[in-house]
Structure 1
């Protein structure tokens, strides 16, 4: 059996439909309104973007989703959780300030913002799941308390997950810092001291003090490391990397199992919109936005997170890569663009594992509207 995934392209077309029109049409076609019951406190799960990033989903588009939720009888609120790494979204106060600076205030979106895991990421509960790596996961309290949820995901590359879509948005975005740490377990950085410039930048951003400057470069205290990867993003010489051969598959499987916990108890109550625009090589957690690796494609809608990610993955890879972008290889249509950015990743692991644990189906029917 195939799951239905609805699609509308990025081009305006002869009917001159704008993006707001397209969101409305997708919301209706995919039956996302049926996920919402009268009076539901409905979480709008999205990523507000790290300060310095500017390719997050437009707040104007979010407002259109908010209005559709309200028309369906829901009471929407925008939400995300604290980051594991240090930055502008590490606690609720900084997170709210960043979201408002990025345009997600009530005056634009028409909905309040709640950081789902509380002031310092302490608002969470354990959820039992039938996973292969976890039998219980830690999910933010306000996500669990919401009656329904609409998940808005900006599809882009990701240095650890291969690519980021609905599954990653659920897994990392609905987990408190403690849950994010569980998903990153086993991803310890490896430091090439021959390449290390000894600048100390990695030690400066490490949220747990796991990296220390030494006479020979930088030393790692493995017992303190939480596997957040912040050190990798700031290293100017590329001296820090993960042991991908051992860590990448378990990381993505644990991520898929956290996604399963995020939707537990909400069967038939969660809808998804994936935005395939501004498809950058990095996650919106980075305090920058690099150039697109493929042209804008469009928007997808579904009630199946696995199917919508499978369709997103295929649509991106069907494109011709953009010359001069961060693509190292795989420019031709049909080649894996995400591996073209990070050759050690395999974004299909999270999709295949998601199907194996009952999160959704990999087989989909793409319905263009």
Structure 2
């Protein structure tokens, strides 16, 4: 397979060009204008950051991307889907509030924010994955599948389950509805926390398979009838219904790649990764630790697989940041991500994505 082009620039600036202008030049040089945006809806997939975490991308970077898409005639919107875990982004109202608190508003970014899977994380489209080894129908946020074009703007950082969080993780996991996220994280079905459950019966009303019953003001799920759709998780007002979270990291990585395929298949897409504030864990944490390496730069490509490979290689070439978790780790893997999270293997997702035809891990790095 021919090497994919990945464009790169560092964070050094001059009096004539600030970081936003440099990002704009990178994106244009990488060829975003090759996409026909005219009067088309463009979903810009981003992570708004869990409240309390300060490592997420600044909204200024999002505005740069929005301005280019708008200039090219597109109708951009910033988007993400609700989280599976309980936190500041588990439903659309909380999610929007968290986005606004972290600076992502129409006034700061130049476009609206839409939560891809709706109010309770149940607004989804079932997308067939013909080439899927583990996923046969991906559950993707409805608003994201309604878009004509997908642009990913990724904060590249470490991750405790996938090794790192790059473009594949941002798209695959991030565009999954709550049920989709459960499918990626779990090989089983949800269960009820009896301590939290108040027996309100909301879950019984939304279950299409009569798998949930309430006895003595406590719900229980019959796993023989449950199909694992996850809608009960979204509807529960007490956060009493929980996923199993028992999938192996290897299979989780492969499912993320298959969900990415579902999102990108048969529509134009473009990808940007910012290797800055490379925290050891996901921006879903309500805190962030010292970056594990110095800031590297900005990358852009039409190929999300090559982009992730280039970013990973660039991080692994960096010196260890003093005082970080990486410095305190046992350095026996010769890989920064695996040294921080030894039970992960980030290469699994990339190799599986190549197998699915999502892109190439062989790339030509073009520095501007």
What band does the TM-score fall into relative to the shorter chain? Answer: 0.7 to 0.9
TM value normalised by structure 2 = 0.83
Task: Give, in whole Å, the separation in 2 of the partners of 1:71 and 1:314.
Answer: 33
Inter-CA distance 152–169: structure 2 relative to 1 (3 Å threshold): same
Aligned-residue offset at 1:330: 6.4
Inter-CA distance 313–226: structure 2 relative to 1 (3 Å threshold): farther
Instruction: Report if the CA contact (8 A) 1:293-1:325 is conserved.
Output: yes
CA RMSD of aligned residues (A): 2.6
Matches within 5 A, 1:185-334: 185-186=186-187, 208-209=192-193, 247-266=248-267, 269-327=268-326, 328-329=328-329
Instruction: Report if the CA contact (8 A) 1:257-1:357 is conserved.
Output: yes
Q: Which residue of 2 aligns with 1:93?
A: 93
Instruction: Report if the CA contact (8 A) 1:36-1:148 is conserved.
Output: no
Aligned-residue offset at 1:222: 12
Q: Name the SS for the 1:53 alignment partner.
A: coil
Aligned-residue offset at 1:185: 1.6
- Structure 2 unmatched ranges of 5 or more: 197-220, 231-244
Aligned-residue offset at 1:366: 0.5
Q: Name the SS for the 2:151 alignment partner.
A: strand
Matches within 5 A, 1:69-108: 69-108=69-108
Inter-CA distance 330–309: structure 2 relative to 1 (3 Å threshold): farther
Task: Give, in whole Å, the separation in 2 of the partners of 1:343 and 1:144.
Answer: 35
- Structure 1 unmatched ranges of 5 or more: 189-205, 213-220, 228-241
Task: Give, in whole Å, the separation in 1 of the partners of 2:349 and 2:308.
Answer: 9
For each residue in 1:27-77, what CA deviation from the matched residue of structure 2 results, as whole angstroms up to 9, or x when unmatched? 111111222421011111100000101111110111111000001110111
Instruction: Report if the CA contact (8 A) 2:53-2:287 is conserved.
Output: yes
Q: Which residue of 2 aligns with 1:153?
A: 154
Q: Kindly indicate whether residue 357 of structure 2 is the aligned counterpart of residue 358 of structure 1.
A: yes
For each residue in 1:128-183, what CA deviation from the matched residue of structure 2 results, as whole angstroms up to 9, or x when unmatched? 12111122211111111101121000011111011000000111111100000000
Task: Give, in whole Å, the separation in 2 of the partners of 1:6 and 1:210.
Answer: 52
Most deviating of 65-74 and 36-45: 36-45
For each residue in 1:189-236, what CA deviation from the matched residue of structure 2 results, as whole angstroms up to 9, or x when unmatched? xxxxxxxxxxxxxxxxx9952899xxxxxxxx9979999xxxxxxxxx
Task: Give, in whole Å, the separation in 2 of the partners of 1:248 and 1:45.
Answer: 23
Q: Which residue of 2 aligns with 1:4?
A: 5
Q: Which residue of 1 aligns with 2:173?
A: 172
Most deviating of 143-152 and 125-134: 125-134
Q: Name the SS for the 1:113 alignment partner.
A: strand
